[in-house]
Amino acid sequence: MIVPDFSGIRVLVVGDVMLDRYWHGDVTRISQEAPVPVVAVNRVEERAGGAANVALNCAALGAKVMLASVIGDDDAGRKLDDLVGNADLVQPFFDVDPAMQTTVKLRVIGQRQQMIRLDFEDVAPARESVERMTNIAAELINECDIVIASDYAKGALGRVQDLIKVATAAGKPVFVDPKGDDWTKYAGAALVKPNQTELDQLRNKSDMLAVGAVLTTRGADGMCLETASIYIDQLAYTRDVADVTGAGDTVMAVVACMRAAGRPWPEAMDLASKAAGIVVGRLGTAAITRQELLDA
């Protein structure tokens, strides 16, 4: 397969961002206080997660990316701003909500195995922050080729339907990574990409008729695409799995960039499956480069 040159593609990513924090260490004994392993932490790592990981994956492929979201006025928010702002080809547009705590997912890793995950989050962003961010995103739509809405149910996409309407009117397709059992808010999207569990939990299957295509990721069983006129099955490229965190973000980034480059669905799905097979072999959220895909 020929991997396109994505340098001419412009992507707008809108959605919930979070900070993925990892505490790495060695496990050599069991605690005397409780039957749990003791992890002697020797390394701390921080990565951009959620919609920010989607943006970094698009940029790693070579696309130019704009990222719109809401962060808190806290250390985690500032760290996210640094991680995204220092990345090549990504331009962040963050609204800062002083009343919001930036979501942090802390994973404790012992001997390369995840021992526990601790989530730090409290309130959703204020309505005023969501409105400001959505208005900024709407103004950026004319500068992009495709919009990715990455919904992690943290509140940043509270006006996603307004965003879809503006993008549709401008002739820009919107690809959605959904959350929740009600897809009416995604009506008009060109693509919705659930995993199999999310699709099974969908309350009203007729919601699928309101979107252009549904791309369902199924883990080791690959993925499938369904539209009004086509159905495509794509097998997974099996590799040793270290961590599935962020694999869906990688699939979304590859599929969106491929479609924005004018490539057909079978090619987009095949390349996305190859990319997912690579990133699940890595620990934690990761971005895959165009060169890595060429090598694969």
Catalytic residues: 249
Q: Which two tokens stand for residue 260?
A: 């924005």
- Which runs of consecutive H residues, i.e. helices, occur in the chain? 51-61, 75-85, 127-140, 160-169, 196-200, 247-260, 265-279, 290-295
CA distance 92 to 48: 12
CA distance 201 to 203: 6
CA distance 53 to 247: 10
Relative to beta strand 17-30, strand 37-50 is antiparallel
CA distance 61 to 155: 28
CA geometry: angle 39, 43, 44, nearest 5 deg:
105
Q: Which residues, in sequence order, are CB contacts of 178 under 8 Å at separation 6+? A: 151, 186, 192, 193, 194, 198
CA distance 164 to 51: 17
Closest CA to 148 of 236, 218, 286, 248: 248
For the chain, list the strands marked E by DSSP: 10-15, 17-30, 37-50, 64-72, 90-97, 104-110, 113-120, 146-150, 174-177, 191-192, 213-217, 223-227, 231-234
